[in-house]
Structure 1
């Protein structure tokens, strides 16, 4: 959905990296595959992708866009998210960045055509805005029903409520059980804006404290 907005180089992990957070690879080589001049497949994490993109493949990049992730990265998710980590790493390296994720409603599938349709104008708007050094945008799209819907966006703060989860014991194993759909949330923060109001939630995050700007 961003190809009309500029010259795009894709640097992506070879394997799913959900929940990998800001892990980076330093003790072993990072192997890569280059199927085209503007596409790289990396045997590493999302943060690795940001590092090698900006240090090796595209050092003069104007922006780094991480995503679109299948699943929301709201509130406390930003500390676990590989998608957000790639944008954070770019901000650390002095490159403007956006992390973007698509919330998946319960028992629903993503319509990627609708996701791209709604993401494009928001990305275009953010690419034209000023962004202070050491900051990056975190964008979460509500679950779209069609390209005919009109979605609005809201700049909002990060919700700090933790997920509701527990661990069930099975022998000598502990099994995680939790859900994002009924998570606690505050009105006006990113979780409520996306889940309850059905708006695109946009939060400016700061490198360092991890707090929102």
Structure 2
């Protein structure tokens, strides 16, 4: 397998190093090439933006690791069209913070995965819900995502093999995965397929001498029963199987996974 990694937290983010470790530890010698192309700095909440008004520059900072002065979508395009890398699938993350529900509309992490799927390459975005009362560590992540990564790799390879053969293969796998904010020493967490919550996050705003200040309660946000927000906040690793245009693939979005 050829695998491409990216993120929106930047090339030096611990979540990206963790994602690299997830691949090497879980898939091991099944991977022929593992390439990283990520923003040279944090580009969180940039959504699906691309750079058109300035030049893009790419630098290999160490073997197989490239930093780009652009957005996550720029990174995806630079890898596929500039470096001519042909991945079997793309992984984006691990984001330091949840990307659930309507957050997908602003998430750079998910945007990179979505761009990949629009170009016919399977992709999975991985994010980690965080709370102030739970240690923000990373060593547990490979353990928690191992089974999900194995399953995604199998689905992605089946898609690549069946491409242009059946109608089912027309929509590349696009998974949005969120890890819960529970004790990192927990050996494993429940896994559930969930639809994406469509509830808006309630915001308030004040204006003081022209300065606009937004306030929102991310943790206390509204959530629909059985949705990605509700289940992740309750302690499950959630998987939402989507089309690149946010339509939930209903036949693959609900149910407990062993």
Which TM-score band applies after superposition, normalised by the shorter structure? over 0.9
Range with greater deviation from structure 2 (107-116 or 170-179): 107-116
Higher-helix-fraction structure: 2
Q: How many equivalent pairs are there?
A: 211
Aligned residue for 2:24? 3
Aligned residue for 1:167? 205
Q: How many angstroms does 1:111 deviate by? A: 1.1
**Mapping of residues 68-87 of structure 1, within 5 Å:** 68-87=94-113
Q: How many angstroms does 1:188 deviate by? A: 0.7
Q: How many angstroms does 1:134 deviate by? A: 4.3
Instruction: Report if aligned partners of 2:205, 2:214 keep a CA contact under 8 Å in 1.
Output: yes
Aligned residue for 1:29? 55
Q: How many angstroms does 1:107 deviate by? A: 3.9
Range with greater deviation from structure 2 (184-193 or 105-114): 105-114
RMSD (CA atoms): 1.6
Aligned residue for 2:240? 203
Q: How many angstroms does 1:93 deviate by? A: 1.1
Q: How many angstroms does 1:168 deviate by? A: 1.5
What CA distance in whole angstroms lies between the structure 2 residues aligned with 1:80 and 1:64?
19
Q: How many angstroms does 1:25 deviate by? A: 1.1
Q: How many angstroms does 1:27 deviate by? A: 2.9
What CA distance in whole angstroms lies between the structure 1 residues aligned with 2:105 and 2:123?
16
Aligned residue for 2:42? 16
**Mapping of residues 96-107 of structure 1, within 5 Å:** 96-107=122-133
Q: How many angstroms does 1:135 deviate by? A: 4.3
What CA distance in whole angstroms lies between the structure 1 residues aligned with 2:84 and 2:230?
36
Is it true that 1:192 corresponds to 2:230 in the alignment?
A: yes
Give unpaired runs (5+ residues) of structure 1: none
Instruction: Report if aligned partners of 1:118, 1:147 keep a CA contact under 8 Å in 2.
Output: no
TM-score by length of structure 1 reads 0.93
Give unpaired runs (5+ residues) of structure 2: 1-21, 160-168, 250-258
TM-score by length of structure 2 reads 0.77
What CA distance in whole angstroms lies between the structure 2 residues aligned with 1:148 and 1:81?
27
